Amino acid sequence: MSTPLTLFEKVWADHVVVEETVDTPAVLYIDLHIIHEVTTPQAFSVLRKNKLPVRRPELTLPTLDHSTPTTPVNTFKDLLVAGEGAANQVRQMERNCEEFGLDLLGYGSGKRGIVHVIGPELGATQPGKTIVCGDSHSSTHGAFGALAFGIGTTEVGHVLATQCLLQRKPKTFAVNVEGALPPGVTAKDLILAVIGKIGVDGGTGHVIEYRGDAIRALSMEERMTICNMSIEGGARAGMIAPDETTIEYLRGRPRVPQGAAWDAAVARWRTLRTDDGAAFDKSVTIDASGLAPMVTFGTNPGMVIGIDEPVPESNDASFRKALDYMQLVPGTRMTEAPVDVVFVGSCTNGRLSDIEAAARILEGRQVADGVRMLVVPGSEQVKADAESRGLHRIIQAAGAEWREAGCSMCIGMNGDIAQPGQLSVSTSNRNFEGRQGVGARTVLASPATAAASAIAGYIADPRKYL
């Protein structure tokens, strides 16, 4: 009998062009390379300087998301809303794609959106693929049983020029989630709890595989929320073995194989699971049934508590600095904190089900006085789907803003920012100092918690609004 292998090891082995040695890393083949305007210009400059083409344009998926405005764009002037640098970057990306023969899903395509939202939506993200992007949340695509990770701009150049990367094989980390999530507790709460448990560096050097009943029970969109934040636990990638849920999600999507090729692909995908008895380098087990909605209280995603727990105390200097920045006092409850801004969106929680979850709570209610709420769909497709269900009307009737697709306030590159000192309840993935604007205080939460907080004007437990 052959050695039992983990899901990661199977996908890795399937893409090794040249094995690693003590002296050299492995040459790893990349099946899908998603690119955007912010982390590619310097890579295209390298190609130009060396007179190299993009080796496999058909495996390259370019879009515009990070520095695009979330107001309508019809002319170059409309781009300037996001600032001159951002507008030029978008234009540069359009020029680069044209020069190198890449099919940009940009303005007018109807398919533009956040890199990690459009890959799955188009069916370009598939089980068993290697997927990279110059963005650390590339781990999102691991929800399909792909090996997906973020890379730097130098590596973007490597993939554009050779379709390969030089990589050392990472270690494996099993995160087992048993039990079932209680009502009102979402995938976002689960992944925040996982990061709280393993710490923001718990996964460094590892690829996580999420396993167990609670994971199997999740929809694909929920699985993407989980894998998305693997990097927040320090891991390069997060993976979930494909199953019927995965196959049903992909069926009929524009970029999946058709006809007999679909059947062959599905047969291959079904083999992509960790064999019984396969060993992980480390593992942790979490019981989902005891979880509450989670909120962060500090300046990294590992500083997280259940919404009904008090803010903890510590003498550690970094901890105190974080609490000072957040203007929070140990022993108080997060539900005592007044809210200025609420953001629903990002590659963590900007898909249709996230917008639905927020809209369900907003329906028939009003965003509290003095609170600004932004709802930003993850892609133009998500926006169209939400509008065909009338969700935008519910959102607007509640007094929230319904915007154009993009990264928006997740990264604050396009002018969508919170003001210094403002408290933002955000469905994105990073509560770093200044992430959503200089001095802005970010509390990470699920779409339901974000919507409930918008209505209450304070951080609120969504279970009271269900």
Partner 1 sequence: MKPVRIIRSKTVVLPNRDIDTDQIIAARFLTTTSKEGLGQSAFYDLRYNKDGSEKADFILNRPESKGCGILVAGNNFGCGSSREHAPWALLDYGFEAVISTEIADIFRSNSLKNGLVAIVVDAATHNWLLENPGADMTIDVESTTIALPNGRTVDFEIDGFARYCLLEGIDQLGFLRNQLDNIERFEEARTWKP
**Which residues within the stretch 399-428 sit at the binding site for ligand SF4 (CB under 6 A)?**
407, 410-411, 428
- Which CB sits closer to ligand SF4, 96 or 428? 428
Per rule CB under 8 A, is residue 245 in the interface with partner 1? no
Per rule CB under 8 A, is residue 300 in the interface with partner 1? yes
The correct pick among 113, 127, 145, 150 for binding partner 1 (CB under 8 A) is: 150
416 binds, among ligand SF4, partner 1, none (CB under 5 to 8 A by kind): none
Cα(373)–Cα(371) distance, integer angstroms = 6
| Chain residues 348-407 in contact with partner 1, contact rule CB under 8 A | none
Give, to the nearest 10 degrees, the angle between helix 447-456 and helix 352-362. 30
How far from each other are the two terminal CA atoms of the chain, in whole angstroms?
52
Give me the least distance between CB of 221 and partner 1, in Å please: 23
Per rule CB under 6 A, is residue 353 in the interface with ligand SF4? no
- Which CB sits closer to ligand SF4, 399 or 434? 434
153 binds, among ligand SF4, partner 1, none (CB under 5 to 8 A by kind): partner 1
Of 378, 370, 325, 323, nearest to 350 by C-alpha is: 378
| Chain residues 22-41 in contact with partner 1, contact rule CB under 8 A | 22-25, 27, 29, 31-32, 38-39, 41
150 binds, among partner 1, ligand SF4, none (CB under 5 to 8 A by kind): partner 1
Only one residue has tokens 């976002």, namely: 188
Give, to the nearest 10 degrees, the angle between helix 84-99 and helix 41-49. 40
The correct pick among 46, 284, 292, 397 for binding partner 1 (CB under 8 A) is: 46
Residues 285, 442, 142, 7: what is their CA dihedral angle, to the nearest 10 degrees? -20
The alpha carbon of 217 is separated from its chain's Cα centroid by a whole number of angstroms, namely: 20
260 binds, among ligand SF4, partner 1, none (CB under 5 to 8 A by kind): none
- Which CB sits closer to partner 1, 41 or 399? 41
Name the helix (H) or strand (E) containing 175. strand 171-178
E strands in 179-319: 206-211, 237-239, 282-287, 294-296, 304-306
The correct pick among 82, 174, 304, 347 for binding ligand SF4 (CB under 6 A) is: 347
Per rule CB under 6 A, is residue 54 in the interface with ligand SF4? no
- Which CB sits closer to partner 1, 6 or 230? 230
| Chain residues 172-211 in contact with partner 1, contact rule CB under 8 A | 200-201, 204-205
> What phi and psi, each to the nearest 5 degrees, are found at residue 164?
-135, 165
Per rule CB under 6 A, is residue 187 in the interface with ligand SF4? no
C-alpha neighbours within 13 Å on the C-beta side of residue 410: 28
User: Residue 415 burial by CB count (10 A; 0-12/13-18/19+): exposed, middle or buried?
Assistant: middle
179 binds, among partner 1, ligand SF4, none (CB under 5 to 8 A by kind): none
The correct pick among 9, 65, 121, 155 for binding partner 1 (CB under 8 A) is: 155
- Which CB sits closer to ligand SF4, 104 or 286? 104
- Report how far apart, in Å, the C-alpha atoms of 268 and of each of 227, 264, 373 are: 22, 6, 44
Cα(347)–Cα(349) distance, integer angstroms = 6
| Chain residues 103-162 in contact with ligand SF4, contact rule CB under 6 A | 114-116, 135, 137
> What phi and psi, each to the nearest 5 degrees, are found at residue 407?
-75, -35
Give me the least distance between CB of 427 and ligand SF4, in Å please: 10
- Which CB sits closer to partner 1, 181 or 237? 237
How many of the other CB atoms lie within 10 Å of CB of 243? Answer: 16
412 binds, among partner 1, ligand SF4, none (CB under 5 to 8 A by kind): partner 1
| Chain residues 60-99 in contact with partner 1, contact rule CB under 8 A | 66-67, 83, 85-86, 88-89, 92
Cα(177)–Cα(193) distance, integer angstroms = 11
Ramachandran bin of 120, using left for φ above 0, alpha for ψ from -120 to 50, beta for the remaining angles: alpha
The correct pick among 62, 134, 196, 345 for binding partner 1 (CB under 8 A) is: 134
Q: How many residues bind ligand SF4 (CB under 6 A)?
A: 14
Ramachandran bin of 408, using left for φ above 0, alpha for ψ from -120 to 50, beta for the remaining angles: left
114 binds, among partner 1, ligand SF4, none (CB under 5 to 8 A by kind): ligand SF4
Q: Is residue 405 within 8 Å of residue 70, measured between CB atoms?
A: yes
Q: How big is the CA angle at 357 (ends 209 and 426), to the nearest 5 degrees? A: 75
Give me the least distance between CB of 190 and ligand SF4, in Å please: 18
The correct pick among 430, 445, 447, 465 for binding partner 1 (CB under 8 A) is: 430
| Chain residues 208-237 in contact with partner 1, contact rule CB under 8 A | 231, 234, 236
Looking at residue 237, the DSSP 8-state letter turns out to be E
The correct pick among 318, 327, 332, 366 for binding partner 1 (CB under 8 A) is: 318
| Contact set with ligand SF4 (CB under 6 A) | 65-66, 114-116, 135, 137, 346-347, 407, 410-411, 428-429
